[in-house]
């Protein structure tokens, strides 16, 4: 596993601990509508506070250009206070940072204003990183979802202070390690989504590592077309037919839909299930059929590790959620049985698994979007590399 320090290596008592979290939460009318990311950050905060640390939290919201009060972390601070009762939680804006830190007592938590209000943050400005280094004694990164960004609060600061992985970061890296780096084989990957073009690096990396690759969603249509199938009026990328053929020739086992659910459009009251060779010119493919679900389950039941990214159909629109739901519930069943280790990630994937009611049944579900995808593509993540122990 990657050689990095964790909270097990840190005695935080009395220390000022700078913690980078992902608190980029959805808001509606000033209220947080989904607490998932915040809740996953709580173990690190509670552990540090319970051991007498002075905890200074850095986080962002959105992509502000300079100071944008519509993207203030004030509503996040309220949600954090409620989640951490009875721990003292404070909030302060930029000009008050030093005063806020000086007033902080052991076991107390201070949330700073949106770190992206500072121009030097996203530029990874060394001068801003040096300024941040004066705020704390040690640094903890618990925001894997921002680890693909070389920003001052995710990468620059880690080179200036003793640096550690928080519990969520540790959990995420462990899950990724046991999935692609050191999996129990056979290793099966399920990849869905709309376009091959957005997932080419991912597919190429996975084909070098997995034993079975399942491709579904609209992106599978391009591969079906490459095999000579008529996909009707379905979304596909004709300019990537030759690329798809090249990937199919990689020599790995690739499972594509053998039957599908088609309709004229998403409002068509009469969708029908048919075999691939029965797709008509006017048909649009919106989901996988039961025979494909059965094939996927058969392969999954003989696998020991499952990696999932992307829905298998237009799960947001009924009845085109059946395929995704059935495969998700099968994976959840095998995970509960102890037959497979299941790791999933990506925004649409999390939404699809939540829709199927199985998020808590998977071994690990990552809420990271871009970072999870870049890891799948085999790209180095600056925020993770910066945590490596210095030799």
Angle, in degrees to the nearest 10, between helices 347-356 and 322-337: 80
Residues in Cβ contact with 14 at an 8 Å cutoff, skipping those fewer than 6 apart: 52, 53, 54, 106
**122: closest CA among 151, 155, 149, 153?**
151
CA 3 to centroid of chain Cα atoms: 22
C-beta of residue 76 within 8 angstroms of C-beta of residue 35? no
Give the C-alpha separation, 192 to 196, whole Å: 9
Q: 370 catalytic, yes or no?
A: yes
Q: 347 catalytic, yes or no?
A: yes
Give the C-alpha separation, 106 to 111, whole Å: 15
Give the C-alpha separation, 214 to 187, whole Å: 11
SS (H, E, C) 200-225: HHHHHHHHCCCCEEEECCCHHHHHHH
Q: Which of 5, 81, 195, 252 is catalytic?
A: 195
C-beta of residue 43 within 8 angstroms of C-beta of residue 87? no
**165: closest CA among 390, 391, 388?**
388
Q: Which of 37, 116, 167, 199 is catalytic?
A: 37
C-beta of residue 303 within 8 angstroms of C-beta of residue 188? yes
C-beta of residue 351 within 8 angstroms of C-beta of residue 26? no
Q: Which of 52, 107, 232, 347 is catalytic?
A: 347
Q: Residue 129 corresponds to which tokens in the numbers above?
A: 């990183």
Q: Which of 52, 107, 369, 370 is catalytic?
A: 370
Task: Identify the helix (H) or strand (E) that includes residue 366.
Answer: strand 364-366
Give the C-alpha separation, 34 to 15, whole Å: 31
Sheet holding 138-141, edge to edge: 89-92, 109-112, 54-58, 16-20, 138-141, 163-165
Q: 16 catalytic, yes or no?
A: no
Catalytic residue positions? 37, 195, 347, 370
């Amino acid at each position: 596993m990657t050689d990095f320090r964790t909270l097990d290596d840190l005695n935080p008592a009395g220390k000022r601990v700078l913690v980078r979290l992902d608190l980029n939460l959805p808001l509606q009318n000033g209220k947080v509508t989904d607490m998932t990311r915040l809740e996953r950050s709580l173990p690190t905060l509670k552990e540090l506070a319970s051991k007498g640390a002075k905890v200074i939290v850095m986080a962002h919201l959105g992509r502000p250009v300079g100071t944008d009060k519509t993207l203030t972390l004030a509503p996040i601070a309220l949600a954090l206070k409620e989640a951490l009762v009875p721990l003292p939680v404070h909030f302060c804006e930029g000009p008050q940072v030093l005063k806020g830190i000086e007033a902080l007592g052991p076991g107390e938590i201070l949330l700073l204003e949106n770190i992206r209000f500072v121009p030097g943050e996203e530029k990874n400005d060394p001068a801003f990183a040096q300024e941040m280094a004066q705020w704390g004694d040690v640094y903890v990164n618990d925001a894997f979802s921002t680890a693909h960004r070389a920003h001052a609060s995710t990468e620059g600061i880690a080179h200036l202070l003793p640096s550690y992985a928080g519990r969520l970061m540790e959990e995420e890296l462990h899950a990724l390690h046991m999935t692609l780096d050191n999996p129990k084989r056979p290793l099966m990957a399920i990849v869905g989504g709309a376009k091959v073009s957005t997932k080419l690096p991912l597919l190429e990396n996975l084909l070098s590592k997995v034993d079975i690759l399942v491709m579904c969603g609209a992106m599978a249509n391009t591969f079906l077309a490459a095999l000579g199938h008529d996909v009707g009026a379905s979304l596909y990328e004709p300019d990537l037919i030759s690329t798809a053929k090249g990937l199919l020739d990689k020599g790995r086992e690739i499972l594509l839909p053998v039957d599908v659910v088609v309709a004229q459009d998403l409002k068509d009251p009469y969708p029908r299930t048919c075999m691939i060779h029965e797709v008509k010119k006017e048909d649009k493919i919106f989901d996988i059929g039961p025979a494909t679900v059965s094939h996927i389950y058969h392969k999954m039941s003989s696998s020991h590790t499952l990696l999932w990214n992307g829905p298998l159909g237009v799960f947001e629109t009924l009845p085109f959620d059946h395929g995704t739901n059935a495969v998700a519930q099968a994976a959840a069943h095998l995970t509960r049985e102890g037959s497979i280790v299941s790791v999933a990630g990506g925004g649409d994937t999390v939404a699809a698994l939540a829709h199927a009611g199985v998020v808590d049944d998977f071994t690990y579900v990552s809420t990271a979007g871009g970072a999870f995808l870049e890891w799948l593509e085999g790209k180095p993540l600056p925020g993770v590399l910066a945590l490596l122990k210095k030799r």
